[in-house]
Structure 1
Amino acid sequence: MLALVALLTYVATRDPAQLWWIALLAVAGLPALLAPQHRLLGPLSRVAEVVVLGLAASQVAAVADIGGPVEGLGASAVLPYLAVPVTVTALRRHFREGAGLLAVTALTLLVSGALTRVDGGRQLAQPGYLAVCAQWLVLAGLGLYAAASLHQVMRVRGEGKPQPYAEATRLLTQLRTVARQLPGATLDPGGISEHLLEELRLAAPTDRGAVLSASGGGRLVVLAQIGADRVDWETTLDADSAIADAWASQQPHTSARSQARSHRGGDVSALIVPLVAGVRTVGLVVLESDTAQAYPAPVMSRVTALTGPAALRLEAALLFDEVRSLATNEERQRLAREIHDGVAQELVMVGYGIDNALAYVDEDPKETAEALRLLRQEVTRVIQELRLSLFELRSEVDRHGGLAAAIAEYARTVGASGGLRVHLSLDESTARLPAATEAELLRIAQEAVTNARKHAGASNLWVTCEVDPPYAQIEVSDDGHGIGDQRPDGHYGLAIMAERAERIRGRLEIRPRQPSGTTVAVVVGSSPRRDKVRGSAAAAEGE
């Protein structure tokens, strides 16, 4: 700005001597530039700037106006510099100081104009000079007012919009309070879905039905289902189906075609009702009957009357599951980082130190060398345990790989580190379980495999994984010395597995394996087809 004002002054006056005012402006503003945070030097320096500016404007105007066509126009060569001190006060939110600077500038311009004479004694402070000065003062004042108004708007918006963590705390506190007040209900998506299906079965003819929810990647997961036979429901939102149409339109749809990919044909009536909470589709209810035209308008009205309130309950449960999953994953990642960057690195350094000691120890004292070797073996074991713990913490069910792939990868890695021969039996359908259920089943399988490696003294490990949503069964067996001889921390791991199974409404079973070893099995949901097969087998054995 100084360079611009210097150029304008020279063009207006053609007098190099007037540039001394520009140099004086630079000197006046130097303290504010060198000590911008100083409480005294900064404001005094800016006051000095506007005083020098007022004097310079009158002097330059007096020289430029001699023979000029417009009275007072020369002041416009210097007054643009007024933006510098005013802008600084606006940026620092010192709006009162800015207003004071404008007042000092106006007073200096008026007094210096009254004392300056041109054209043989004519006073400079004439209407033309005053008009030019007023224009620049008004422009600077409007800029200061705009800055103050913008700051006020931003402050009000900031007060109305709490910080993310404060808002999260408020919402979670409300969620906890509401959850405690729910009469006989829980924030469990599976339980809410099962209760909804039982209500709908009383309101509409239903041979089979299901509640589905989005899982990401354009697919749906089965939260619960009813019916005598297993149903392989359509779970792709990209397909040309009534399910995809109902999800996109948020309107109930009826169809004469079954929404199950495994349906063998015949008369069928299907009713698909989207579960809409506000403007968001959180799930779908699919009801099917083997009777034609089983869902007329009155029946559809009864169904939608039940699904409306259920949508809000299901959304709350799904959000709660998502929040809990995010918090759990974040904590596991934090623990993994802490272990990796802390204890693991320190133990590695201890191992290196022992290696150095073994390199220089005198072979005469054999006991010392043997103790160091044993210590080195122990440190190696601890490091291996930490690495396995890190691997367990970081293991998650991949959206595309599935639960069986995650369990298989963990069993192979842990089995190889423990010298176990791993036998895998994986049977997973293309449909997916809810993310929270998959995560808990993975942790149960991890705990079972870890117990077998650390406490069972086994040579073989059998891992079976069957996933047929909403049914799933995970079974981990070993040929070790059995559950009775395990250490207390092994029993603690069993308690953790039981808590996880209860959380997803699963059934945990721990039983001896013949001729030796232990079997840990967890079952979620039910499969009518498997129950029928087992019932037939039991009847055959009875005969």
Structure 2
Amino acid sequence: MSERDWKKERWLVPALGLRAVLFGFVLTLGLLSVDVPTVLLWCGLLAVASIPATIAGTQPILGRAGRLAEVIVVVLGTLSTDDGFGWLLPYLVASIGGAAIFGGIREDVGASGDERGNLMARYPGLIEAAVLTLIAAVALGGTAVATGGDDQRLFAFECALAIGFGVIAAGVGHWLRSLLHAEVPSGSQPYAEAAALLTQLRAVARQLPGGTLDPGGIATDIVQRLRGITDADRAAVLVAGGNRLAVLAQSADDRVDWETSLPSNAVMADAWADQQPHTDNASLTRSTSGPVSALVVPLIAERRTVGLALAECDEPDRFTPEIIDEVVSGLGTAALRLETALLFDEVRSLATTEERQRLAREIHDGIAQELAMLGYGIDHALAQLPEGAGESAEQLQELRDEVTRLVTELRLSLFELRSEVDRAGGLTTAIADYARTIGASAGLRVHLSLDEGGARLPAATEAELLRIAQEAMTNARKHARAENLWVTCEIDPPYARIEVTDDGKGLGGDGGDGRYGLTIMSERAERIRGSLEIRPRQPHGTTVAVLLAASARPGSVSSEAVRE
């Protein structure tokens, strides 16, 4: 239940009860003071007029119209009765009090203090109550002025009575409205809000056409539009990625080493901060020398800087104000689409990480502990066997070896489930740690060739690449019967190449588990717009390679390579 619904249901029943009590009170008062036909007539009209305010009191249109109709009926009934001494006036407490409680509730409930900064927004119910009181007072007071004698005194008294009822109802109603703004019980509010947001996210994810929640695809489209409008030699889209910006997509004829640190480039830092396009004759890359034309366009979504669109030409002063305006107009809603895709990617990554951690905990606390106890039981049984039980001892020892193997497999599975890319260490560090663990457990000789510059890939992309590398190394350990494992990582965002090669028996004798692993790797590569290649190694073995952003493949590598 949402906060708004909870508050409505909390006060709706008491408000309806008060309305019913007041209706019964004026009906009884009327029967005691005026004739029955008059009472039935005006009470019947009042009952009809009160229907909208009774069944839809929180609605901004029906509720207000119903309360206004009630006040009009009360005033007309009071004016038309000469000897009733305002028998209908007590019902104003229901109408005016309801206005003070429920007036403008849809716009007001849950709004922050800034959103209720002006008088109309802060006190919509109290203002509506004051207006209804004023209508009743003006009608009765005007009639008192227009009449004379005893009628004048009677209508003046009824006008004062209406004002009194209105003030009391407005004050009490406003106090009740402050209680209406009490927080939902603290234990349920975060879950209610989270459930509402996740429900909306699920609906959006199902309605959007395929591919529209892919940050890489959206960034590639932005780069293509940027180059098409500006005729730039180089273009890229950078988004926030830890301490540095992450190159989400780029387009260039040669290798480009984009600057990804905002403090190192004043133009990029200014564009990010003031959310305005900036131009300069200094390069936005670390691999380009000489004067250039540089353009930085911030990608703004709902007043937030999502990323930067960069364009460079080798000729100075190419980006005129007309071109800049065309770029800003041409990108349109791309920033909002990009932020939506990034948020969806982050939510999916968080959910995946949490599920992997949950599985790891369940395996560790469940089957892993039970297998360990089984191993201890077998050890105890072996110790109790007499010296002459040769065949039985051999069978128990084989069983103990199998349990040991299963425990080792579970430990490696736990390590894989818990392995994540450290934002400080990088993707190559995570892959190297896993390769060393695999090599130590399986007796493989691991050969590492790691090449990663300062720029980072998006976190979700790094996570998928890590899982692909893990699956490839696991297949080599479990199915290939290899002696050597070669792991090559080359990261130059948005380009990446990860290659895992073994000298095992190859794919010919691979079983169903290995084939399923290949399918999983292919699905992961497709998810990040990469390509997966599986080929035999001569004279024997298998190579699994995943390639990301092949068009951005560097011609030369400037970052320091680590070989082991």
Question: Could you say which TM-score interval applies, normalised by the shorter chain?
Answer: 0.5 to 0.7
Amino acid at match of 2:282: R
C-alpha change, 1:404 and 1:154, in structure 2 (3 Å) is farther
Q: Is this contact kept in 2: 1:232–1:261, CA < 8 A?
A: yes
In structure 1, the residue matched to 2:29 is none
Aligned to 1:517: 541
Give the aligned length. Answer: 386
Of 329-338 and 357-366, more deviation after overlay is shown by 357-366
Q: Which residue is equivalent to 1:277?
A: 301
Match of 1:258 among 258, 274, 283: 283
Residue number among 346, 349, 363 corresponding to 1:339 in the alignment: 363
User: Per-residue displacement from partner, 1:235-269 (whole Å, max 9, x unpaired)?
Assistant: 0122242111211221111111110011121x311
Q: In structure 2, what residue type is equivalent to 1:330?
A: E
Amino acid corresponding to residue 264 of structure 1 in structure 2: S
Q: What secondary structure does 1:306 align onto? A: helix
Question: Would the alpha carbon gap of residues 529 and 326 (structure 1) be closer, same or farther in structure 2, given more than 3 Å must change?
Answer: closer
Deviation at 1:305, TM superposition (A): 1.3
2:452 matches 1:428: yes
What is the match of residue 220 of structure 1?
Answer: 245
Between the aligned partners of 1:264 and 1:278, the Cα distance in structure 2 is 36
Mean CA deviation greater in 231-240 or 219-228: 231-240
Within 1, Cα distance between the matches of 2:375 and 2:389? 21
Whether 2:187 is the aligned partner of 1:195: answer no
Contact kept? 1:412, 1:422, Cα under 8 Å = yes
For residues 257-336 of structure 1, what are the structure 2 equivalents within 5 Å? 257-265=282-290, 267-336=291-360
Deviations 1:424-467 (A, max 9, x none): 11111111001011000000000000000000010000000000
Deviations 1:82-135 (CA, angstroms, capped at 9, x unpaired): xxxxxxxxxxxxxxxxxxxxxxxxxxxxxxxxxxxxxxxxxxxxxxxxxxxxxx
Greater CA radius of gyration, 1 or 2? 1
Q: Is the 8 A contact 1:179 1:186 kept in 2?
A: no
Tell me the equivalent position of 1:163: 189
Letter in 2 for 1:413: T
Once residues 514 and 241 of structure 1 are traced to their aligned partners in structure 2, the CA distance between those partners, rounded to angstroms, is 51
Tell me the CA shift for residue 167 of structure 1.
2.5
Pairwise CA distance, 1:162: 7.1
Query: Where do residues 63-82 of structure 1 align in structure 2 (5 Å cutoff)?
Result: none
1:380 aligns with: 404
SS of the residue 1:334 aligns to: helix
1:389 aligns with 2:413: yes
Whether the 8 Å contact between 2:232 and 2:312 is mirrored in structure 1 is yes
Q: CA offset at residue 157 of structure 1?
A: 3.5
Where 2:263 maps in the other structure, the secondary structure is coil
Amino acid at match of 2:198: L
Please say which of residues 231-240 and 308-317 is displaced more in the overlay. Answer: 231-240
Change (3 A) 1:161 1:348: closer
SS at match of 2:235: strand
Measured in 1, the distance between the counterparts of 2:424 and 2:438 equals: 22
What is the deviation of 1:216? 1.6
Shift of 1:527: 4.9
CA separation of 1:159 and 1:304: change in aligned 2, threshold 3 A: farther
Residues in 1 aligned to 2:542 and 2:276: alpha-carbon distance in whole angstroms = 51
Between the aligned partners of 1:315 and 1:286, the Cα distance in structure 2 is 17
- Distance change in 2, residues 1:185/1:446 (3 Å): closer
CA distance in 2, matches of 1:179, 1:529: 32
8 A contact 1:232–1:262 mirrored in 2? yes
SS at 1:238's partner residue?
helix
Give how far 1:156 is off: 4.4
* 1:125-155 deviation digits (Å, cap 9, x = unpaired): xxxxxxxxxxxxxxxxxxxx99x96996376
Give the Cα–Cα distance (whole angstroms) in 2 for the partners of residues 209 and 488 of structure 1.
44
Deviation at 1:526, TM superposition (A): 2.2
Q: CA deviation at 1:177?
A: 2.9
Corresponding position: 1:362 with 2:386: yes
- The amino acid of 2:540's aligned partner reads S
Q: Which residue of 2 aligns with 1:351?
A: 375
Q: CA–CA distance in 2 between the matches of 1:225 and 1:310? A: 16
Q: Partner of 1:209: helix, strand, or coil?
A: strand
In percent, how many aligned pairs have the same letter? 65
Alpha-carbon separation, structure 1, partners of 2:373 and 2:176: 57
CA contact (8 A) 1:234 1:243 kept: no
Q: 1:272 to 1:230 in 2, by over 3 A?
A: same
- CA shift at 1:421, angstroms? 0.4
Superposed counterparts of 1:462-481, under 5 Å: 462-481=486-505
1:275 counterpart letter in structure 2: L
User: One-letter code of the match for 1:223?
Assistant: L
**Contact 1:363/1:369, CA 8 A, preserved across alignment:** no
What secondary structure sits across from 2:262 in the alignment? coil
Distance 1:271 1:193 in 2: 17
**Partners in 1 of 2:193 and 2:364 — Cα distance?**
32
Q: What's the CA shift string for 1:509-533, capped at 9, x where partnerless?
A: 1110000000000000125554799
Alignment-mate amino acid for residue 253 of structure 2: A
**Higher-RCO chain (CA-CA 8 Å, sequence separation at least 6):** 2
Match of 1:153 among 167, 179, 195: 179
Q: Which amino acid aligns with 1:158?
A: V
Unaligned runs of 5+ in 1: 1-144, 534-543
Cα distance in 2 for partners of 1:371, 1:152 equals 77
Q: Shift of the alpha carbon at 1:312? A: 0.3
Amino acid at match of 1:248: A
Aligned-partner Cα distance in 2 for 1:447–1:233: 31
2:281 equivalent to 1:246? no
Q: Distance in 2 between matches of 1:308 and 1:503?
A: 26
CA distance in 2, matches of 1:225, 1:402: 21
1:406 to 403, 422, 430: 430
- Contact kept in structure 2, 1:276 and 1:308, CA below 8 Å: no
Does 2:524 match 1:497? no
Change (3 A) 1:151 1:395: farther
